[in-house]
């Protein structure tokens, strides 16, 4: 399937400054949101207790809050609906260390008289464990980025690696800004979504970079890096768009019909898919120009490498034939 004309080269580099300015505004705005509004850390990272309760008919939140006020444990709890009018989630800041009774039994006793219900889930995380999870999550993200930097440097060239990492920072920054803006609870599933975005965005960027490298080798008549980038992005545009659209619609289906429990995960992925596709086309490639990638030097380097490889093959053939 072709979304774009294959006989036409689109001038992406001609609009590079415009897209860079848009991205700079989005990234700075995201950092400001995270710095001033902050992130809504969920139970996994902040510690606390979650009790999920399902009723056989729509619940009266006010009556439940009134019942919880009578309990010492639940008097400061927050109650919200969870996916439907029949289901609620009760959140408290207490950890297991502070609880002397089974929290599930305590919730059953407190909610008695509010209707027919069942306790579907009780999750508890201590503040210390939450802090450790937050540190390890941050460490996992940093290690993933360093691994990407090393991998792309070996496979391509250091400017390609730096450009891909800057594009990833761009994607994760905007995703975190969206999470802060819409007050999405940051739990382990959000961390998984952020790591997934890193992999997804990198995959798109590598495909474009691979095509640029092929263009550098094959389109020797093109003497300008911008022309090579324009041609390379154009040739991968249909593939990138089709892959992103199919992935987007799958994740959108999860977001709309997957239930409340994966809402934060699928929302973060939706933002990541859009931003990752945008950055692989409009941000990562222009970064090569900004970082001073020299087309002629790279071609000379590839030619030298090819010459050494041919020399090795010639020497091996001579040894195999008994000639030195």
Q: Which of 170, 177, 176, 234 is nearest to 29 (CA)?
A: 177
Q: How is residue 90 annotated by DSSP?
A: E
Query: What pLDDT does 229 receive?
Result: 86
Give residue for tokens 């540190």.
Answer: 135
Residues 6 or more apart whose CB falls under 8 angstroms from that of 202 comprise: 148, 152, 164, 168
Report the C-alpha dihedral over residues 304, 305, 307, 309, rounded to 10 degrees.
170
Q: Rounded to an integer, what distance in angstroms lies between the CA atom of residue 126 and that of residue 96?
A: 6
Q: What is the pLDDT along the chain (324 residues), one digit of tens a residue?
A: 556 666 678 888 888 889 999 999 999 999 999 999 888 887 777 777 888 888 888 888 888 888 888 777 777 777 877 777 788 888 877 655 555 567 777 788 888 877 888 888 887 776 666 677 777 777 887 888 788 778 777 777 788 888 888 888 899 899 999 999 998 888 888 888 888 888 888 888 888 888 888 888 777 677 788 888 888 888 888 888 888 889 999 999 988 888 777 888 899 999 999 998 898 888 888 888 888 877 788 778 877 887 888 888 888 887 777 665
The structure tokens 């941000």 sit at 283
Q: If DSSP codes are grouped into helix, strand and coil, which group holds residue 41?
A: strand
- The pLDDT assigned to 299 comes to 78
Between CA 152 and CA 245 the distance in angstroms is: 26
The pLDDT tens digits of the residues spanning 30-42 come to 999 999 988 888 7
What is the per-residue pLDDT for 5? 62
Half-sphere exposure of residue 90: CA atoms within 13 angstroms, side-chain side? 31
What tokens were used for 151?
Answer: 């991998």
Q: What is the pLDDT of residue 242?
A: 86
- Angle of helix 295-320 relative to helix 188-218, nearest 10 degrees, comes to 80
State pLDDT tens for residues 161-219: 888 888 888 998 999 999 999 988 888 888 888 888 888 888 888 888 888 888 887 77
Q: SS3 for 173?
A: helix
Q: What is the pLDDT of residue 11?
A: 84
Q: Count the neighbouring beta carbons within 10 Å of the beta carbon of residue 87.
A: 19
């Amino acid at each position: 399937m072709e979304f774009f004309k294959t006989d036409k080269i689109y001038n992406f580099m001609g609009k590079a400054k415009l897209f860079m300015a848009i991205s700079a505004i989005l990234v700075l705005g995201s950092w400001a949101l995270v710095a001033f509004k902050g992130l809504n850390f969920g139970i996994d990272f902040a510690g606390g207790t979650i009790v999920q309760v399902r009723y056989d008919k729509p619940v009266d939140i006010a009556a439940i809050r009134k019942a919880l006020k009578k309990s010492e444990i639940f008097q400061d709890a927050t109650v919200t609906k969870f996916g439907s009018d029949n289901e609620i989630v009760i959140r408290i800041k207490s950890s297991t260390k502070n609880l002397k009774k089974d929290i599930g039994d305590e919730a059953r006793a407190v909610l008695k008289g509010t209707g027919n219900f069942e306790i579907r889930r009780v999750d508890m995380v201590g503040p210390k464990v939450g802090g450790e999870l937050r540190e390890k999550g941050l460490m996992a993200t940093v290690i993933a980025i360093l691994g990407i930097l090393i991998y792309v440097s070996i496979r391509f060239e250091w400017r390609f690696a730096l450009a891909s990492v800057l594009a990833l920072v761009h994607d994760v920054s905007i995703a975190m800004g969206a999470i802060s803006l819409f007050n999405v609870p940051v739990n382990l599933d959000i961390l998984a979504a952020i790591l997934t975005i890193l992999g997804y965005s990198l995959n798109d960027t590598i495909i474009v970079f691979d095509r640029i490298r092929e263009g550098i080798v094959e389109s020797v008549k093109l003497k300008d890096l911008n022309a090579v980038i324009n041609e390379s992005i154009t040739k991968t545009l249909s593939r990138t768009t089709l892959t992103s659209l199919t992935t987007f619609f799958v994740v959108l289906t999860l977001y709309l019909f997957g239930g409340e429990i994966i809402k934060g995960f699928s929302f973060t992925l939706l933002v990541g898919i859009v931003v990752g596709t945008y950055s692989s086309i409009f941000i990562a490639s222009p970064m090569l120009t900004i970082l001073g990638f020299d087309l002629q030097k790279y071609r000379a380097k590839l030619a030298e490498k090819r010459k050494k490889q041919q020399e090795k093959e010639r020497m091996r053939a001579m040894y195999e034939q008994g000639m030195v």
